[in-house]
Amino acid sequence: MAVLSGFLLTGAVLAGVAILFPDLVADLDLMGTSDDDTTTTAPVEAGSAAEASEVVAGFVTALEAGELGAVRFVDPGATATPGVTTETTSESGTASTPGSSAPRARPETEVGAEFEELTGGLAPFTLDAAEGQVTLLDATTARAPIELTWQFPEGISWTTASDIDLRFVGGEWLVDWQPAILEPSLRPGDRLQRARLAPTRAPILGRGGVLLVDEIALVEIGVQPSRVQDLPLLAQQLEDILGIDGVELASSVEAASPEAFVPVTTLPRTEYDAIRDQVFPLPGTVFRESVRPASVDPNLARALLGRSGEVTAEIIEEFPDRFEPGDYAGLSGLQSTFNGVLTGQPGLEVSVIRSGPDPSTTTTGTGLITTSSVVEIGEPQLLFTVPAADGEPVQTTIDPVVQRAAEAALQRTELTSALVAVEVSTGEVVAVANGPMGATVNFAMTGQYPPGSIFKVVTGYALLRDTLSANDPVECPQTITVSGRGFANAENEVLGVVSFRDAFAHSCNTAFVGATLGFAPETLNATASDFGLGTDYDLGEFAFTGSVPVAEDNVDLAAAAFGQGRVLMSPLSAAVMAATAADGTFRSPVLVTSPARSPQVVTPLEPRAADSLQELMRAVVTEGTGRAVAQVVGAPVSGKTGTAEFGNDNPPKSHAWFVGFQGNLAFAVFVEAGEFGGSTAAPIAADFLNALAVRG
């Protein structure tokens, strides 16, 4: 083709011009001939749909892998009509004429770099592509639809639909790369970006909707060694103000690098504000603020509720669609157990940052805009969004009033201790306290301890159900021998022949051993399950429910009769046992009511035996080993003391237990290595009940 005075002249027109104006044609060489060479237009070469489909499939595979270097693309600088090349014949032969008049392949690295620049703001993501059937638009152009599914870590997918254009160049199909392949509105220079929409973490609630854990503003107080002027003075001042261990703090500061942040304590913003004027001016103190899940009262049910902090790699692996590095999550307790419920589901926004020519620069001679002359235009334009779904609250049965009374009662001892309280009529766990104050391990639910004589609640019920009445006589010698193994009473007590009621009230071990000699090996195991021991509790949080193995022999049975040998319980399972005894019905304990748990199991005991058991437990308080709770305020208290030997010392150490009930409240008190239940655990129970009477 040729252009004359702005008109496009076809071959037929040129032939007519040659007849009318031969001299003009000769001068202008409009026919393209000379004595030396002849120029001809090569026939248009056509590509097949099958070949185009293969190229599209290869492009889709490369796109999914993010490896576009294996694909050949059309050079956007090519301006000639697609598929048309010119050949020049001369004395030296025939050759094609290169240059801007012929389409050519684009360097693959350019497209790869453009793809990275365009999509880098979406990372990380995976891309799934599905191509449709190729359509030949003409001999040298083809088109195929493509659908892309972008998968993001939040568990959200974004689907875009567009077209892939191809051009047949030099005997092969080349992909005509355009950003619009990824999303129809995209153009060169644009950049995609992803914004994560964080959900609001929901609270953990106690009875009546009282906030136990919520997202609150916190201030972390620390020390930066390089700022300290007088370390001993600073350590003492912080100890006086905050109640921390100043000596331990000084040691930590000395061991840290000069610019380190040595944590001292973390306080709710409201508590920090009250002491700010005292700590802020101290040379060396530094502060970090954050908003994250935390207990509203740091000392309330601390081990049960747990703590929060920055997510670990393990949490991200468990919840890849919920968390990313830097997020806060529950690290222990209920905060950890219900991370997936409390956190909610993050949302997502995909936007495009539009770019255009910088008005202060000029375009190149070809009219192309170079990267260096591209600037952002306006605000990001939203292409896709999924709103965040906030977390769901976790509703517990913890009663803050009862919980605080339990925490306060455990301050009587500095030993590891626990107090669990259960509402008799519902089975709801209303307090789970661990001592000493600030304990972070939930021994109240997970501890596994020999129960000692509190297990006589189970054994006593079995005897009342199967063989004895409360007034039947039993022998209580100092010792009793079973298959060559001797068993004795605490402090070698001897009661002689007494009623079963008195033997229970004074916790005579030998009477229980003698009375159970005729039991089948599985009797205590089966009876224990009537009180929930060894059964599954769907509490929402791990708990040890007890273990009462089938007796292997008479010695094993004799030891189990008074809670020794292989019998193990947790304070929680002991409280459930006490609640079952309180009204003669086992109710599987309830700690979390939302999200919903398995239906509660309700199983009645044998009524006559249950009534007699309650009479015996009242006698423990009125005339037996539990008289420490006889004078508490409120309704009458019934209970059972326990002294449980453990370890290999001679004489062995003992845990102290007391289980009981008052009105609609059952409870269990445990003190590790506390020696005697009547003198150590029962007074704690009295403090607990008296505190409740005052607070109630």
User: What would the pLDDT profile of 68-100 be if each residue is shown by its tens digit?
Assistant: 877 889 987 654 443 444 343 333 343 343 334
Q: What percent of the chain has pLDDT over 70?
A: 86
* Mean pLDDT, all residues of the chain: 87
Could you tell me which residue, 216 or 617, shows the higher pLDDT? 617
In this model, does residue 1 exceed pLDDT 90?
no
Looking up tokens 């000692």, which residue turns up?
Answer: 452
pLDDT of the residue at 294: 86
In this model, does residue 413 exceed pLDDT 80?
yes
In this model, does residue 370 exceed pLDDT 80?
no
Token pair recorded at residue 129: 């592509």
User: What would the pLDDT profile of 218-250 be if each residue is shown by its tens digit?
Assistant: 899 999 999 999 999 999 999 999 999 999 999
Q: Environment class of residue 179 by beta-carbon count within 10 Å: exposed (0-12), middle (13-18) or buried (19+)? A: buried
In this model, does residue 620 exceed pLDDT 90?
yes
pLDDT of the residue at 631: 95
State how far the Cα of 273 lies from the Cα of 79, in Å rounded to an integer.
71
* Helix axes 607-623 and 571-583, enclosed angle (nearest 10): 110
Instruction: Tell me the β-bridge partners of 669.
Output: 419, 658
State how far the Cα of 488 lies from the Cα of 564, in Å rounded to an integer.
12
Give mean pLDDT, residues 193-203.
Answer: 94
Q: What percent of the chain has pLDDT over 90?
A: 76
In this model, does residue 595 exceed pLDDT 90?
yes
State how far the Cα of 440 lies from the Cα of 375, in Å rounded to an integer.
55
In this model, does residue 202 exceed pLDDT 50?
yes
Please, which pLDDT band fits residue 377 given cuts at 50, 70 and 90? Answer: low
Based on its alpha-carbon atoms, the radius of gyration of the chain, rounded to whole angstroms, reads 42
User: What would the pLDDT profile of 464-502 be if each residue is shown by its tens digit?
Assistant: 999 999 999 999 999 999 999 999 998 889 999 999 999
In this model, does residue 193 exceed pLDDT 50?
yes
Q: What's the Cα-to-Cα distance from 677 to each of 418, 451, 463, rounded to whole Å?
A: 13, 10, 23
pLDDT of the residue at 108: 63
Token pair recorded at residue 695: 């607070």
CB 97 within 8 A of CB 87: yes
Give mean pLDDT, residues 187-199.
Answer: 93
pLDDT of the residue at 356: 60
Give the lowest-confidence range in 57-61, 108-112, 691-695.
Answer: 108-112
State how far the Cα of 230 lies from the Cα of 227, in Å rounded to an integer.
9
pTM of structure: 0.77
Give mean pLDDT, residues 54-64.
Answer: 94
**Positive or negative torsion for Cα 487, 493, 496, 497:** negative
In this model, does residue 118 exceed pLDDT 80?
yes
Give mean pLDDT, residues 40-54.
Answer: 76
Q: Environment class of residue 678 by beta-carbon count within 10 Å: exposed (0-12), middle (13-18) or buried (19+)? A: buried
CB 564 within 8 A of CB 644: yes
Token pair recorded at residue 466: 């199967």
Instruction: Tell me the β-bridge partners of 590.
Output: 428
Please, which pLDDT band fits residue 677 given cuts at 50, 70 and 90? Answer: very high
Q: Which positions ≥6 away from 146 have C-beta within 8 Å?
A: 56, 60, 129, 130, 131, 132, 161, 162, 163, 164, 181
Give mean pLDDT, residues 685-689.
Answer: 98
pLDDT of the residue at 104: 59
pLDDT of the residue at 151: 96
Give mean pLDDT, residues 268-275.
Answer: 92
Q: Which positions ≥6 away from 204 have C-beta within 8 Å?
A: 211, 212, 213, 214, 305, 334, 335, 338, 342, 393, 394, 396
Give mean pLDDT, residues 341-369.
Answer: 70
Could you tell me which residue, 65 or 2, shows the higher pLDDT? 65
Q: Which positions ≥6 away from 6 have C-beta within 8 Å?
A: none
pLDDT of the residue at 373: 45
pLDDT of the residue at 43: 53
Q: Which amino acid is at 42?
A: A
Please, which pLDDT band fits residue 437 given cuts at 50, 70 and 90? Answer: confident
Please, which pLDDT band fits residue 365 given cuts at 50, 70 and 90? Answer: very low
Please, which pLDDT band fits residue 46 given cuts at 50, 70 and 90? Answer: confident
Q: Are strands 204-205 and 394-396 parallel, antiparallel or unpaired?
A: parallel
Give the lowest-confidence range in 324-328, 338-342, 596-600.
Answer: 324-328
pLDDT of the residue at 2: 33
